Structure 1
Amino acid sequence: MRFSFSLILLLICGVTPAQAAENTYTAENTLAKYSDDYPFISIASINAPASVLAHKDIAYVSDGERRLHLDLYRPAETSGSPTPGVILVHGGGWQAGYRTHLTPIAIKLAEAGIAAATISYRLAPEALYPAAIYDTKAALRWMRANAGQYHINPEQLAVAGSSAGGQIASLTGVTNGLEEFDPQAATSKVSSDAQLIINIDGLSDFTSEKARKYEDAPRDKPSSAVLWLGGHYAQQTERWHEASPIYYVNQATPPILFLASGRTRFYVGRDEMIRRLNQHGIPSKVVTFSNTPHSFWLFDPWMQPAASAIAAFIKEQFAAKI
């Protein structure tokens, strides 16, 4: 049923299933696109050192025969206190990408004493908004339910993402406790709440004039946002509003770290969201990687400082002695 509904919306938008299903957002293709302007970069390694334990291809949620999987990376040394945990959501315009895109960051976080899980989630056209939010909350719930097994502190969980994954992570975190974004909440005693949010170059407001300039402009092929939200702004105004993290800021919103590239279009709404966070006394921080392309986190020399900024924020906010 979900797929049929998604397919109908895609056909209305003028996109064939074959076009929508292409998943060409890989580190290799992105490197080829960036290599002329950034000849010094290289794809960050996905090989874990001996100090990191890797638990791969774990099913974290299922819907009938459909299962979603994650890879968990954690410190090999487990003699101290349980570690903070973080769910990592890859980007790709809500319709592409792979969880291995954030494996290098997950490994570096594990080296820093933080358990990190990279997740696969349902992409368009299989499922449109808000399915990815459901999946990310399910991943948080899985991590909390299995925290003891993996030496994780269930009260210290963060959600992080890059690009479209940054928007997904933000919306997941700012909607803590809202059952309309969490179908499992009615039947589970385990919370899906996140205590921190990390948004790497992801939109905070689909409805702003600048966002709509890029995401809602007339063109031959609809934008990724139009596809994921099921129509243009005029057709799906309520959805564009609902999917914007900025509208959920309140006194209970978790602290947020924003990592930014040199491409301002990808973090539209951030400054206004920070203003609203400040009104409620919610901590936030911005770390900017100037003169970088959008997908900077995939590559050295930028991946390591990005991971370090995330680890520092998590430790600072949780005051973890690790």
Structure 2
Amino acid sequence: MPFLSTVLAAALSCVEPPPDPANTYDAPHTYDKLVKEYPQIRIADAMLPAGVRKVADQVYAQRGARCLRLDAYLPAGERLPAVVFVHGGGWKSGYRSEFVPMALRMAQQGFAAVTVSYRLSGEARYPAAVQDVQAAVRWVREHADELHIDPQRVALAGGSAGGQIAALAGVTGEGVKAIVNIDGLSDFTSELALQYEDDPKKKPSSAGAWFGGRYAEQAALWREASPIRYVRPGMPAVLFIGSGQPRFSAGREDMMARMAQAGVASEKLILPDTPHSFWLFDPWLQPTVDASVAFLRRYLR
């Protein structure tokens, strides 16, 4: 494996933090919370299918003694389009394994799929996570030859907090040609977002912990982290995939309207009667994959 020596060298000089038992944003814990209301759900399969190889635990960046790692799921082929997945978890929790089932299904459709870890809010506040994801995109493009990826056809995708991070990293960074925002905020300052993310009963809210203060205390950061603020001609096209819980996609309609005015393509798929975190489960993962594949084939030409 061409990356092995790099991984071994990096492993000698940097480490990952130990698992946090309080970090329970994963498919099994979420299943336990949802199955009574949605008895038809099943945790999506994360078994490596035939024809897809995994390149695991690549160190894409180092912050002091801290390793940041990613996994790549690669189908056969050359000059593959690629999608980099950003996990959710309220900016404070979650694991890159969250997007393995979707990554595998995307790989079966001919995409190189990469899942990344990033610094959570308890370790480093905004904008650390965004900078980490942008570094992961740079790493993927710099290693395009080894990964058999076309560096000019790279997309970002994410769910929940990961959808917001993917959108922000994509519209403010370089090298991203399309974005899939799955149930992630587009505007932290919208009335709907503030109703939940700036709720004074939450001490702090997930967003407040990420920004280091409530909206009144860190208003500039709340605005700066809103993808809607960066709508402009030439920005990446965006596919918005939403659950039946509007609060998690606050700002989406306004962002789509601004994109239309700027001459930038956007598309929307709403999966009605679904919970947040729907992409972790069948029967909802496949329509999410199908919409993403169709969109990315249009905009990663």
- TM-score, normalised to structure 2, is 0.92
Matches within 5 A, 1:276-291: 276-291=258-273
**What percentage of residue pairs aligned between the two structures are identical?**
50
CA distances 1:114-163 after superposition (whole Å, capped 9, x unpaired):
00100000001100000001000000000000001111000000011100
Match of 1:181?
none
Structure 1 residue corresponding to 2:276, chosen from 273, 294, 316: 294
Match of 1:7?
none
- Alpha-carbon separation, structure 1, partners of 2:130 and 2:300: 24
Structure 2 residue corresponding to 1:312, chosen from 283, 287, 294: 294
- Alpha-carbon separation, structure 1, partners of 2:100 and 2:39: 23
Match of 1:145?
142
Structure 1 contact 246–269 (Cα < 8 Å) conserved: yes
CA distances 1:254-307 after superposition (whole Å, capped 9, x unpaired):
100001000000000000000000011101100111110000000011112211
**For the aligned residues, what is the CA RMSD?**
1.2
Structure 2 residue corresponding to 1:157, chosen from 154, 173, 176: 154
Structure 2 contact 129–165 (Cα < 8 Å) conserved: yes
Match of 1:65?
65
Q: Which amino acid aligns with 1:59?
A: V
Structure 1 residue corresponding to 2:238, chosen from 245, 256, 273: 256
Q: CA deviation at 1:51?
A: 1.2
- Alpha-carbon separation, structure 2, partners of 1:214 and 1:158: 29
Match of 1:230?
212
Residue 198 of structure 2 corresponds to residue 209 of structure 1? no
- Alpha-carbon separation, structure 2, partners of 1:247 and 1:253: 12
Matches within 5 A, 1:176-195: 176=173, 192-195=174-177
Q: CA deviation at 1:28?
A: 0.8
Secondary structure at 2:49's aligned position in 1?
A: coil
- Alpha-carbon separation, structure 1, partners of 2:265 and 2:105: 24
Residue 133 of structure 2 corresponds to residue 136 of structure 1? yes
Match of 2:16?
none
Structure 1 contact 204–270 (Cα < 8 Å) conserved: yes
Q: Which amino acid aligns with 2:261?
A: Q
Residue 77 of structure 2 corresponds to residue 95 of structure 1? no
Q: CA deviation at 1:220?
A: 4.7
Q: Which amino acid aligns with 1:155?
A: Q
Q: CA deviation at 1:74?
A: 1.2
Match of 2:38?
38
Structure 2 residue corresponding to 1:271, chosen from 253, 256, 260: 253
Answer 1 or 2: higher relative contact order, Cα 8 Å, separation at least 6: 1
CA distances 1:65-104 after superposition (whole Å, capped 9, x unpaired):
21111110011x22xx411111100000000000000000
Q: CA deviation at 1:209?
A: 1.3
Q: Which amino acid aligns with 2:284?
A: W
Q: Unaligned regions of 5+ residues in structure 2, if any?
A: 1-19
- Alpha-carbon separation, structure 1, partners of 2:226 and 2:162: 13
- Alpha-carbon separation, structure 1, partners of 2:23 and 2:102: 21
- Alpha-carbon separation, structure 2, partners of 1:315 and 1:87: 15
CA distances 1:209-253 after superposition (whole Å, capped 9, x unpaired):
111111101115321001001100000010000000001100121
Pair 166,272 (structure 1): closer, same or farther in 2 beyond 3 Å: same
Q: CA deviation at 1:174?
A: 1.0
Q: Unaligned regions of 5+ residues in structure 1, if any?
A: 1-19, 177-191
Q: Which amino acid aligns with 1:33?
A: K
Q: Which segment drifts farther, 61-70 or 239-248?
A: 61-70
- TM-score, normalised to structure 1, is 0.86
- Alpha-carbon separation, structure 1, partners of 2:171 and 2:216: 25
Structure 1 contact 137–193 (Cα < 8 Å) conserved: no
- Alpha-carbon separation, structure 2, partners of 1:203 and 1:305: 21
Match of 2:14?
none
Secondary structure at 1:93's aligned position in 2?
A: coil
Match of 2:56?
56
Match of 2:24?
24
- Alpha-carbon separation, structure 1, partners of 2:229 and 2:155: 20
CA distances 1:18-51 after superposition (whole Å, capped 9, x unpaired):
xx98211121111011011111111111111111
